[in-house]
Structure 1
Amino acid sequence: MSDEPRPRPQYGEYATPEEQRAAIRKPVPEPVAAVDPPHPPTAPATTVAARPTRTADRVITLALLGYGLITVISAIPQLVDFTEFAKTWMTVAGVEGEFTNTGQGALWGGIAATVFAVGWLLTAGFAWLSLARGRLSWWIPLVGAIVTFGIVSVCLVVPLFGDEGIMRGLAFGG
């Protein structure tokens, strides 16, 4: 043991509850009369009025679903006419030549259009259920769009990269 004095305790380290209340100037609670029985803890509110409304979440979710619907409605005709879609894609990608894989293009374009429509319907359904249950829902249209676009992209790549002219154009840099 050393002769040095012990360090002074930090605030509240050794203080009793009464000393702590006195230090923060909080009055001592009144003692409860022995006649009153203790009340059980109250349960959380279960009424609809007690739930948060989340108006911003509703507005954002519905706006994202609306934007997605416009995107799907405008994309479906382009995907159904896949040959024209492929020509436009080739021009944007800088690929010389002509799209000749029309049979696969028509098949996969129809599949992509169907995936787009079903993806939006599923996303809207999940978002609607989530909104009805009062849960945060803004993320559902975003995740639905990412998943749907991923699947549609695969459907579009199959006929595009199955075309000899496109593969030749990509291999030789246009």
Structure 2
Amino acid sequence: MSDGSTGNGEARPRPQYGEYATPEEQRARIQRPEVTEALDAGVAPQPERPAPAPVDAARPGGLRGPLWDRIITGGLLAYGLVSTVSTIVQLLDFPRYAESAANVLGVDATYTNLQGGYVWGAAAALVYGIGWLLTALLTWRRLKRGKIAFWIPIAGFVATALVAGVCVTLALVGDQQFMTAIIGSVPN
């Protein structure tokens, strides 16, 4: 009966609905219609790839990870944004910024290197702005992957403050008169 006949001399029609399919082939055709096309073309079906993890609809933007981490990270980024904007505004008027710093130290000093102050103040302001944006981007990417991220705003602040601090120091050191007043006020 391997010739496809029914035993009474009549030829049996070719199966159309998978009567001779293995259970694996039947499951593959039912679950994945593209497998049917592959099998009809004589190609072995490819193993099923795992579906990507579903994005939790309760979390905006697909953020994952512990709630405590997202709260702390968001708070640090918000505080950093307010601090960054405030610092940028101050640095763009560098002579006043330098004189305010001297007043905090209890020194009456006037910043006179205006050109250098404005250039280095703007550079420090730019560093703060780019530093915050880069920190926010890296934090967002880490949060989307569901990894702990609270440390990124802290590390971003430290790195940004160090680079901006170099710019501020170069501006301050560039004014000999101002530095003489600061150094002269240090007790022996």
Per the normalisation by structure 2, the TM-score is 0.63
Structure 1 position 91 matched with structure 2 position 103: yes
Does 1:118 find its partner at 2:124? no
Fraction of identical pairs, as percent: 38
**By how many angstroms is 1:79 displaced?**
0.4
Choose from 97, 100, 112 the match for 1:100. Answer: 112
Partner in structure 2 of residue 166 of structure 1: 178
Report what 2:152 is aligned to.
140
Higher Cα Rg, which structure: 2
Q: CA deviation at 1:86?
A: 1.1
Give the Cα separation in 2 of the matches to 1:153 and 1:63.
24
* Residue 47, structure 1, aligned to residue 53, structure 2: yes
**Structure 1 vs Structure 2 CA RMSD:** 2.0
Q: Which amino acid aligns with 1:118?
A: I
Deviation at 1:75, TM superposition (A): 1.1
Contact preservation (8 Å) 2:65, 2:148: no
Gaps of 5+ in 2: 1-51, 57-63
Instruction: After TM superposition, give the deviation of residue 73 of structure 1 in Å.
Output: 1.1
TM-score (norm 1): 0.68
Aligned counterpart in structure 1 of residue 141 of structure 2, from 97, 108, 129 = 129
- Higher RCO (CA < 8 A, seq sep 6+): 1
1:129 maps to amino acid: R
Tell me, yes or no, if the aligned pair for 1:95 and 1:166 is still in contact at 8 Å: no
Structure 1 residue runs without a partner (length 5+): 1-45
Q: What's the CA shift for 1:172?
A: 2.2
Matched, 1:152 2:164: yes
